[in-house]
Amino acid sequence: MLIRAKVPLRISFAGGGTDVKQFLEKEGGCVLNATIGRYVWGTLRSRADGLINIESGDLGYIVNYNTQTDPVYDGKLDLVKAGIQSLGGHGSAGFDLFLHSEVPPGSGLGSSSTLMVCLVGLMKEFLSLPMTDYETARAAYRIEREELQIKGGLQDQYAATFGGFNFMEFEKDRVIVNPLRVKQEVINELEHNLLLCYTGSTRMSDGIIKDQVGRYEQRVEDTLRGLRRQKQLAIEMKNALLQRRLNDFGELLDEAWQSKKLLSPKISNPKIDEMYESARKAGAIGGKVTGAGGGGYMLFYCRFERKHRVAEALSKLGGIPTGFAFDYNGLQTWRVDGNSAPI
């Protein structure tokens, strides 16, 4: 018996940074995001010999340990080990676990949090844990942010779990996920005009978020102004999306990027700035880095007849542009037999 999981990655349009604990507990946060057709995949096969075997298809790590002993946190798949321990997997009869992401760590698409949601989904199915979507996302957040102290916000875990277009509100004691009923013709137009581009380098977000939080706690004026504007832009972009004002949506995406750069000087760099300006000159109405910053993927909204020109300009600078489709399902798990036939 195999248990599979498929979990989508996300793009964030506006509000990133306001979902970090230090800000939302004092001022409340909100984010507009959507999941896309890039995925983290997982497979779990039960064992009966008390062993846990974990393999990462991306990092090349294989980790083995006994269910009767605590795992060693040595930098090899520590996030996965902590998730198994926290969810009670160490009390099982053992299992093989294989995980694979379609994008590299540090992509800016929420890959580490999506991986944790994938693991929670597999363990929930394996151990028959009665968890709602909110509880699944909260468990993923707790393991990553609270137990392992990995810097970051809340949006990624909830986006991966719920899927689709969502306007998320973050308060001190609760998260509210508001699914948006975006018309199919609007989605088609977005998929036609939006362009993802891999900058050619990844980044670790911890240092950027730590700097951003430090600047907020020190009440640096630019950071305060940028975060508060991010909240407002998330609302304005949600309204533009629902009212089918997509050129306005693209222009607001540009404003979201200008506000995002106020949060920390580490968010952009000369290469990102050059790619952004080249894309704008080639016909992009607006764009932004999709994650904490410093590298990973950039997202652009283009004039429909200029998208190919934007792609050409980015390619000349070493970028890897690509189209994409949206995903509406969020976390999915299912069971298959030994012949990979769904059960």
In this structure, are residues 136 and 4 in contact, taking their beta carbons and an 8 Å threshold? no
Give the C-alpha separation, 40 to 118, whole Å.
Answer: 7
Cβ atoms of 106 and 9 within 8 Å: the answer is no
Point out the catalytic residue in the list 19, 58, 70, 156.
Answer: 156
299, 11 contact by CB (below 8 A): yes
Nearest-angstrom CA–CA distance, 197 and 205: 18
DSSP state of 60: -
Residues facing 5 on adjacent strands: 42, 333
Joined together, the tokens standing for residue 312 give: 């050409």
| Residue 181: CB atoms within 10 Å | 7
Q: Annotated catalytic, 96?
A: no
The encoded tokens of residue 274 equal: 């050059």
Q: How many CB atoms lie within 10 A of CB 60?
A: 7
Distance CA 53, CA 77 (A): 11
Distances (CA, A) of 149 to 19, 59, 110, 160, 264: 16, 21, 16, 20, 20
Token digits of residue 42: 């997982």
Q: How many residues does the chain have?
A: 343
What is the DSSP track for 247-274?
HHHHHHHHHHHHHHTTT-TTS--HHHHH
| Catalytic site positions | 156
